[in-house]
Structure 1
């Protein structure tokens, strides 16, 4: 009986051990086999991209010098014009307050002239008789001449307010181009009222003119990169409207003050764009400018995905193979990066085999279905 009892206990223990081993094997995943890569020689460019647009270097707004109504427009948007070309004609509409003041000035000038003439005629007779001296008569004649000049000035001012100029009989004034270039915009139409440009008002823009052969790139860069920029750095500008074409440019301006946009400080930059005659670049095209901040040729590099970082010091390191699926940590010093490859200054050699630590293990058959059922 005791033998049977011991045999039964032994059978139960062995069965339990077998079940435990089977359970562990059935639930354990196969170990990951890590691949390795080595360093290589390449060239790396550290670039940044600024978003913006291309615009003419100078845009001139043509404004009227008198207030009135657009009588006729002689150009269209896109026309090439030269300095002095006629853009539009304006029918002058006098300002009632200014017109009334000008009329009052003319009346006052007439009164003063009449009084000066009476004084002149009276004293001229006395001068002819030798009653008054020549010096006194000269003073009286001077006041008379000044009164006549004041009347002419007042009449001219009244005519300018009524007709826009002193030269013509019709109340029409011409608007002419102040520079040569292309008509970008005509924001008014025939019949629209326009306001003159003066010290208190910018006036109504009749046309906008720009030289389309001189274009610049206007964009913004983040504060983390603006310190790396320098005037005269080369740019490569690509336009959204022109595919598979890049235009060379040169950085000419970096704003000394940034503006906060959506929580980040952005600095304005400008660059001269060298146009290609085979392509017509319109004002306002959206553009991206690629700027090479730093470039190194023939340097040792590794893929940036191979890097690991210490949780405490945040210093970079890699794992080097020292045996079959055995690795050790190796601290390294890194340089510039382009987001794909990173320069290795020291810490490893080209012969070292670097662990591909972030390689994911392929899922077993049926695991996707099990995870989907678990999530549901």
Structure 2
């Protein structure tokens, strides 16, 4: 064999050995070690979150007692008013049928009055001559007075139909819309020239203005049926407003609806809570809000992070893997745990692990292993 052939064979042998070594290292199974963490003591609160809004506790809608057209509005939204303050006036647009009927009643009352007047004057002369008795005279006088009053009433009714008021009504004129309570004007949904409908037994009527006491606000929201059974009236809650960041207003739960309503396939129950306001902030009616309601609270209990938990595929029992041994001989042992209250991040452990146990952090290898993988 020539020298050149020997050199070629030597090179091939070296390359072959190098490839075998490389393949061996590549196929060699690396030992992965996991990071661990110990159970800890903390306070866990299980909360329910109700979404809703804040609204005034007392809110009154002013409605007219007569149909017509808004003639003038004397206040603006945001104004503070007292009971009896004039809010707006209504100009009456007479109903043709009612106007015609009222005119007819006036004419009939006028005829009755004139007839009674003639009879009274005739009987008065006869009584003065002693022709008729006092009783006949007094009866004709009574008929005359009744006819006079009926004519006055008919004319007043005609005035009310025409103008919405009549002489002698004064402040009771129903064309004047006055505040029925003290507070802030939070809404005026009408303008000058708007047609309004009176409030009666058959119609709610047109709202001219809404007055509310802005110093007394309540939270009104809804909670899911899975949580409503754990709520208790009188519970202290915290209300966060979307318009006021970083501020929580204390409130007290005062109402839990006895009947739920179905929304998007889930049954929701209405709740209400009295909100304690802060003079530093002006809370407007209708602000969107969330209420944090503590359903269960435990102080200083042994806990772990929920991410450490796994569930048995067959029994569905929760378990963790606890480290046994040290160094290369360390292994992880499966431990079934009994759980308590959870806040969604941390969960109470009632049994199965101790404060000194080192629990595997799933999918988190040690830093040394990460470097070797690279």
Common topology (TM > 0.5): yes
Q: Which residue of 354, 359, 364 corresponds with 2:364?
A: 359
The superposition leaves residues 133-163 of structure 1 with CA deviations (integer Å, 9 ceiling, x where unpaired) of: 6556655554443333322222211111112
Distance apart, 1:199 and its partner CA: 1.8
The superposition leaves residues 147-184 of structure 1 with CA deviations (integer Å, 9 ceiling, x where unpaired) of: 33322222211111112112279999322111111111
- Judged with a 3 Å threshold, the aligned counterparts in structure 2 of structure 1 residues 150 and 314 are, in CA distance, closer, same or farther, namely farther
Question: Which residue in the other structure is 2:13 paired with?
Answer: none
Count of residue correspondences:
351
Q: Distance in 2 between matches of 1:242 and 1:72?
A: 36
Q: Distance in 2 between matches of 1:338 and 1:169?
A: 66
Q: Which residue of 290, 312, 315 corresponds with 2:314?
A: 312
Are 1:338 and 2:343 an aligned pair? yes
Range with greater deviation from structure 2 (146-155 or 76-85): 146-155
Question: Which residue in the other structure is 2:332 paired with?
Answer: 327
Q: Matches of residues 151-170 of structure 1 in structure 2 within 5 Å?
A: 151-167=151-167
Distance apart, 1:275 and its partner CA: 0.8
Question: Which residue in the other structure is 1:262 paired with?
Answer: 264
Q: Distance in 1 between matches of 2:132 and 2:168?
A: 45
Preserved CA contact (<8 Å) 2:185 2:211: yes
Question: Which residue in the other structure is 2:274 paired with?
Answer: 272
Q: Distance in 2 between matches of 1:218 and 1:352?
A: 46
Range with greater deviation from structure 2 (186-195 or 205-214): 186-195
Q: Which residue of 212, 215, 220 corresponds with 2:222?
A: 220
Question: Which residue in the other structure is 2:6 paired with?
Answer: none
Task: List alignment gaps of at least 5 residues for structure 2.
Answer: 1-17
Preserved CA contact (<8 Å) 2:120 2:144: yes
Q: Which residue of 175, 178, 193 corresponds with 1:176?
A: 178
Distance apart, 1:225 and its partner CA: 0.8
- Judged with a 3 Å threshold, the aligned counterparts in structure 2 of structure 1 residues 100 and 350 are, in CA distance, closer, same or farther, namely same
Distance apart, 1:46 and its partner CA: 0.6
Range with greater deviation from structure 2 (263-272 or 315-324): 315-324
- SS at 2:34 equivalent: coil
Question: Which residue in the other structure is 1:10 paired with?
Answer: none
Instruction: Give the TM-score, by structure 1 length.
Output: 0.82
Preserved CA contact (<8 Å) 1:308 1:316: yes
- Judged with a 3 Å threshold, the aligned counterparts in structure 2 of structure 1 residues 33 and 144 are, in CA distance, closer, same or farther, namely same
- Judged with a 3 Å threshold, the aligned counterparts in structure 2 of structure 1 residues 347 and 148 are, in CA distance, closer, same or farther, namely same
Distance apart, 1:125 and its partner CA: 6.2
Distance apart, 1:84 and its partner CA: 1.3
Q: Distance in 2 between matches of 1:315 and 1:114?
A: 101
Question: Which residue in the other structure is 1:95 paired with?
Answer: 95
- SS at 1:30 equivalent: coil
The superposition leaves residues 102-137 of structure 1 with CA deviations (integer Å, 9 ceiling, x where unpaired) of: 112222222333444455556666666777665566
Preserved CA contact (<8 Å) 1:92 1:172: no
Are 1:283 and 2:288 an aligned pair? no
Q: Distance in 1 between matches of 2:366 and 2:137?
A: 117
Q: Distance in 1 between matches of 2:102 and 2:28?
A: 103
Distance apart, 1:310 and its partner CA: 2.3
- SS at 2:362 equivalent: coil
